[in-house]
């Protein structure tokens, strides 16, 4: 048996949190004098899909995992920066592997294209080249402006039938793992996917450049007998561009695309997180209000109306019920006891049906208490959403 050749307490200094250590940059040439480039830097939300549940890399002090991207083409540069690397020693057990620093590059290579650069000067040359030559792939389906018209953006629709886009998607898909909980890579061999990308367009005197903002993916599912349901599978706006309205504009674009297709009966969402659920509720409500979908509506609302409305506006039944309930609450005078009671009964009836398996085995009093507790939470959440509309 090998003798213990290290002090376990000393090894703690070589453990680094990979989420904190990962530096993401979108890099572009600097139009003004001085530095050759400018960039925005941000960190991942999490890195467990790459480095494991603990998000720890062993073997480095002051680790920086540098993943830099040309802001339009997403040409990639990778570099590890650290103050000291663990050199490795024999294990205290003859059956255990010798201790060594983690192979961070090897782990990343499982998730990023292998054409990344490790020479920073070459990367800067590529950034400069791509500033003038890169153009978004696919069909432009929407354009919009923000900041009083000063900033221009374009949305493109693509599919994996394009080999060039498949290569581009391989560069951008890592962002989804780093920001969307539970996300995984989609099958780029399946041509049924529709991918919508957002780019900021900048027009200078001598060059027009495009800069990546975010993207969403949709997949069609068969709906008997001859229609399809479109499902939003992935949806991401990169952190530097969040809270500016891009998410709402992208979602509305996806919805309008589905509404315009006769073969689409519904647009739904795959496992939305809380932030996306809010975005969806807010934009669905704005759309339905603008369309006067619920004008004059009061509780109780019939199942026939719900069914008619969900088909007309291509939303799921549950989402349409939520939107109706939000609208009714928004226009409810709680001082009118009978109206408030009708509203509560409508919401509780839906909640009872939705949670039937959990409620059916409860005693009557317990069931009523649980329904009331759930209702209160729903009403509070609806008031929060109304503030967003």
DSSP string, 182-214: T-----TT-TT-EEEEEEEEEE-SS-EEEEEEE
Please check whether residue 247 is in contact with residue 208, taking contact to mean a CB–CB distance below 8 angstroms. no
7 has pLDDT over 90: no
Which residues define the annotated binding site? 235-237, 242-248, 273
Could you tell me the two tokens for 274? 């809380």
Residue 244 CB neighbour total at 10 angstroms: 15
98 class by beta-carbon count within 10 Å (0-12 exposed, 13-18 middle, 19+ buried) = exposed
If pLDDT is split at 50, 70 and 90, which confidence band does 367 have?
A: confident
Please check whether residue 145 is in contact with residue 151, taking contact to mean a CB–CB distance below 8 angstroms. yes
Which residues define the annotated binding site for acetyl-CoA? 235-237, 242-248, 273
* pLDDT value of residue 106: 96
d(CA 278, CA 389): 10
If pLDDT is split at 50, 70 and 90, which confidence band does 361 have?
A: confident
Tell me if residue 265 falls in helix, strand or coil: strand
Q: At what angle do helices 317-330 and 303-313 cross, to 10 degrees?
A: 110
Residue 318 CB neighbour total at 10 angstroms: 13
Q: Which of 219, 216, 223 is nearest to 248 (CA)?
A: 216
Give pLDDT tens digits for 46-65.
999 999 999 999 999 999 99
Q: In order of start, what are the domains of the chain with their CATH numbers?
A: 8-133 (3.90.360.10), 135-271 (3.40.630.30), 281-389 (no CATH)
Q: Pick the more confident residue, 27 or 6.
A: 27
Please check whether residue 321 is in contact with residue 371, taking contact to mean a CB–CB distance below 8 angstroms. no
Catalytic residue chosen out of the listed positions 270, 366, 369, 373: 270
Give pLDDT tens digits for 210-248.
999 999 999 999 999 999 999 999 999 999 999 999 999
If pLDDT is split at 50, 70 and 90, which confidence band does 135 have?
A: very high
The alpha-carbon radius of gyration of the chain (Å, integer) is: 26
Share of the chain above pLDDT 70, in %: 94
Q: Which ranges of the chain does DSSP label H, i.e. alpha helix?
A: 8-11, 18-21, 48-51, 104-108, 120-133, 163-179, 246-259, 274-290, 303-313, 317-330, 337-354, 356-359, 364-388
d(CA 13, CA 332): 60
**Average pLDDT of 357-361?**
73
* pLDDT value of residue 2: 45
**Average pLDDT of 157-173?**
97
Residue 238 CB neighbour total at 10 angstroms: 20
Give pLDDT tens digits for 14-44.
899 999 999 999 999 886 545 577 899 999 9
φ/ψ (deg, to 5) at 288: -70, -35
d(CA 351, CA 359): 10
Could you tell me the two tokens for 262? 């006769």
d(CA 115, CA 106): 14
Mean pLDDT score of the chain: 92
246 class by beta-carbon count within 10 Å (0-12 exposed, 13-18 middle, 19+ buried) = buried
Q: Which of 261, 199, 205 is nearest to 229 (CA)?
A: 261
Please check whether residue 125 is in contact with residue 131, taking contact to mean a CB–CB distance below 8 angstroms. no
Q: Which ranges of 93-245 does DSSP label H, i.e. alpha helix?
A: 104-108, 120-133, 163-179
* pLDDT value of residue 276: 95
* pLDDT value of residue 4: 46
Give pLDDT tens digits for 107-123.
999 999 999 999 999 99
Q: Pick the more confident residue, 273 or 2.
A: 273
Q: For residue 220, what are the β-bridge partners?
A: 230
* pLDDT value of residue 12: 82
Burial of 6-38, coded b for 16+ CB within 10 Å and e otherwise, reads: eeeeeeeebbbebbebbbbbbbbbeeeeeeebe
pTM over 0.85: yes
Question: Does the annotation mark 270 as catalytic?
Answer: yes
């Amino acid at each position: 048996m090998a003798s213990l050749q290290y002090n376990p307490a000393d090894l703690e200094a070589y453990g680094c949190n990979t989420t904190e250590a990962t530096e993401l940059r979108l890099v572009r040439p600097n139009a003004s004098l001085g530095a050759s480039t400018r960039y925005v830097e941000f960190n991942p939300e999490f890195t467990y899909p790459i480095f494991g549940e603990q998000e720890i890399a062993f073997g480095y002090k002051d680790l920086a995992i540098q993943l830099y991207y040309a802001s339009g083409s997403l040409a990639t540069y990778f570099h590890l920066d650290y103050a000291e690397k663990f050199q490795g020693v024999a294990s205290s057990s003859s059956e255990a592997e010798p201790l060594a620093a983690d192979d961070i590059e090897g782990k990343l290579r499982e998730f990023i294209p292998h054409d990344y650069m490790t020479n920073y000067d070459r990367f800067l040359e590529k950034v400069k080249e791509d500033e003038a030559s890169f153009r978004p792939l696919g069909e432009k389906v929407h354009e919009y402006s923000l900041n009083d018209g000063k900033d221009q953006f374009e949305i493109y629709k693509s599919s994996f039938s394009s080999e060039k886009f498949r290569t581009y998607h391989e560069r951008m898909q890592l962002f989804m793992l780093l920001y969307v909980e539970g996300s995984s890579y989609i099958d780029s061999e399946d041509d049924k996917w529709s991918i919508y990308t957002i780019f900021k367009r900048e027009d200078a005197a001598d060059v027009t450049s495009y800069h990546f903002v975010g993207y969403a993916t949709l997949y069609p599912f068969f709906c008997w007998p001859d229609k399809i349901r479109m499902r939003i599978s992935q949806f991401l706006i990169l952190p530097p561009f969040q809270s500016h309205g891009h998410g709402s504009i992208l979602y509305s674009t996806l919805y309008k695309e589905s509404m315009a297709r006769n073969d689409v009966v519904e647009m739904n969402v795959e496992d939305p997180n809380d932030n996306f659920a809010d975005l969806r509720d807010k934009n669905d409500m704005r759309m339905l209000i603008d369309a006067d979908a619920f004008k004059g509506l009061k509780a109780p609302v019939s199942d026939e109306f719900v069914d008619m409305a969900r088909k007309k506006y291509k939303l799921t039944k549950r989402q349409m019920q939520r939107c109706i309930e939000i609208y009714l609450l928004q226009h409810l005078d709680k001082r009118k006891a009978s109206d408030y009671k009708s509203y509560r009964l409508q919401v509780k009836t839906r909640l009872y049906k939705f949670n039937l398996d959990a409620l059916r085995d409860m005693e009557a009093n317990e069931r009523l208490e649980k329904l009331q507790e759930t209702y209160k939470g729903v009403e509070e959440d609806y008031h929060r959403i109304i503030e967003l509309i």
